[in-house]
């Protein structure tokens, strides 16, 4: 015979069935690894995962009607975990095909400088190395404009760092630009992803910038 403590614990778990469902969904999000994949591959993975989640749910309903409640519940939880993985891939696919993050996969050689056009969407901040600000990109131009550069309409935000030396004259040149929020700029830049330190267990700065800052 169960004691009062065991009875209360059982009742409490039955009062929170969504906790188990949410945990399975979160587990699926955690296990998914959709980072830095081409958009076509991401969408293909989303379709496959959603089909798998639907299959698990449908199989669970069939087994529930056949008198297999435990197996039905297990399939339902697996379906929620797979749906969590699909949501993680969908989060990765929130960027349109012409986003700056897909420039490399679209054939643009980012090892060479490119011309970036856009609008300042942050106030320029001065630091020890120069000035940095965020730009909402509108176009990028690849190649020499004198010989016929190729312009690509682009979206997405880029953090621009305008580096300089400690020479006061260099600082005067930067300040003479009078960069402000909302200014339209066109500049020759070298694009790269945020750099991570290769220390085991270190903070994933690249993932944070791309997932939360959309940079």
Q: What is the mean pLDDT of residues 75-100?
A: 82
Q: What is the mean pLDDT of residues 33-45?
A: 70
Q: What is the mean pLDDT of residues 158-167?
A: 82
Least confident of 10-19, 64-73, 163-172, 203-212: 10-19
Supply the pLDDT for residue 151.
84
Least confident of 1-5, 84-88, 95-99, 153-157: 1-5
Supply the pLDDT for residue 181.
93
Supply the pLDDT for residue 39.
66
What is the pLDDT confidence band of residue 136, given thresholds at 50, 70 and 90?
very high
Supply the pLDDT for residue 35.
64
Q: Mean pLDDT in the chain?
A: 79
Is pTM, for the whole model, over 0.75?
Answer: no
Supply the pLDDT for residue 14.
52
Q: Cβ contacts of residue 135 below 8 Å, gap of 6+?
A: 116, 118, 119, 120, 121, 157, 158, 159, 160, 185
What is the pLDDT confidence band of residue 82, given thresholds at 50, 70 and 90?
confident
């Amino acid at each position: 015979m169960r004691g009062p403590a065991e009875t209360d614990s059982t009742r409490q778990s039955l009062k929170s069935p969504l906790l188990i469902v949410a945990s399975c969904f979160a587990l699926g999000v955690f296990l998914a690894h959709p980072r830095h994949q081409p958009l076509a591959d991401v969408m293909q993975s989303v379709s496959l995962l959603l089909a798998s989640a639907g299959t698990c749910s449908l199989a669970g309903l069939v087994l529930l009607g056949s008198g297999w409640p435990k197996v039905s519940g297990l399939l339902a939880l697996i379906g929620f975990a797979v749906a969590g993985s699909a949501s993680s891939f969908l989060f990765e696919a929130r960027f349109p095909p012409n986003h700056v993050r897909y420039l490399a996969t679209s054939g643009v050689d980012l090892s060479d400088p490119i011309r970036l056009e856009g609008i300042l969407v942050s106030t320029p901040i001065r630091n020890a190395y120069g000035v940095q600000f965020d730009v909402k990109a509108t176009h990028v131009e690849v190649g020499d404009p004198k010989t016929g550069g190729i312009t690509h309409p682009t979206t997405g935000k880029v953090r621009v760092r305008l580096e300089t030396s400690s020479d006061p004259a260099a600082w005067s040149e930067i300040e003479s630009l009078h960069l402000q929020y909302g200014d339209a700029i066109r500049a020759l830049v070298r694009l790269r992803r945020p750099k991570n330190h290769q220390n085991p267990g270190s903070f994933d700065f690249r993932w944070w910038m791309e997932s939360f800052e959309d940079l």
